[in-house]
Amino acid sequence: MTDTIDKRARELAEYVLETGATVRTAAERFGVSKSTVHKDLTGRLEQIDRPLWLRVRTVLEQNKAERHLRGGEATRRKFLSRRARHTIEGQREAAGNGQPQAGDEAFSQRSRQGFSGA
């Protein structure tokens, strides 16, 4: 059992070093919890292979330092996505209400006629 855990800790460490992956990404990739990854990389690995742990620790510290940037970028993408979806839905609603829209031929004809219907 310990050999399996030690092997997983080393594999996680190599993955993080090769890819610069976050704890979350590594957890998803290996099918374990973030807590397990964190414990393997910060606790167990130090006991198993200290030089490897020192290298991994550098990557983890860098990821932690960049965490606020990743969070801000994720929030930005979330709201841009919502805005785009809202805009598209608004355009669909406007197009579906039977009213001519700017750019439509019917709109152009009515505006030339002053919307009088003549």
Contact 52, 13 (CB under 8 A): yes
Tell me: the pLDDT tens digits for 20-39?
A: 999 999 999 999 999 999 99
The reply to whether 112 falls in a domain is no
The reply to whether 26 falls in a domain is yes
The reply to whether 102 falls in a domain is no
Contact 62, 23 (CB under 8 A): no
Tell me: the pLDDT tens digits for 48-84?
A: 999 999 999 999 999 888 777 666 777 777 877 877 7
The reply to whether 111 falls in a domain is no
Q: What range defines the domain where residue 35 resides?
A: 2-95
What's the confidence (pLDDT) of residue 105?
57
The reply to whether 27 falls in a domain is yes
What H or E segment, with its residue span, contains residue 116?
none
pLDDT interval class at 2 (50, 70, 90): confident
What's the confidence (pLDDT) of residue 69?
67
> Total domain count for the chain?
1
Question: Cβ contacts of residue 59 below 8 Å, gap of 6+?
Answer: 16, 17, 20
What's the confidence (pLDDT) of residue 24?
92
Token look-up 């009515």 returns: 110
pTM value is: 0.58
Comparing CA positions, the residue from 51, 33, 41, 34 lying closest to residue 9 is: 41
Tell me: the pLDDT tens digits for 37-58?
A: 999 999 999 999 999 999 999 9
The reply to whether 48 falls in a domain is yes
Question: Cβ contacts of residue 110 below 8 Å, gap of 6+?
Answer: 100, 117
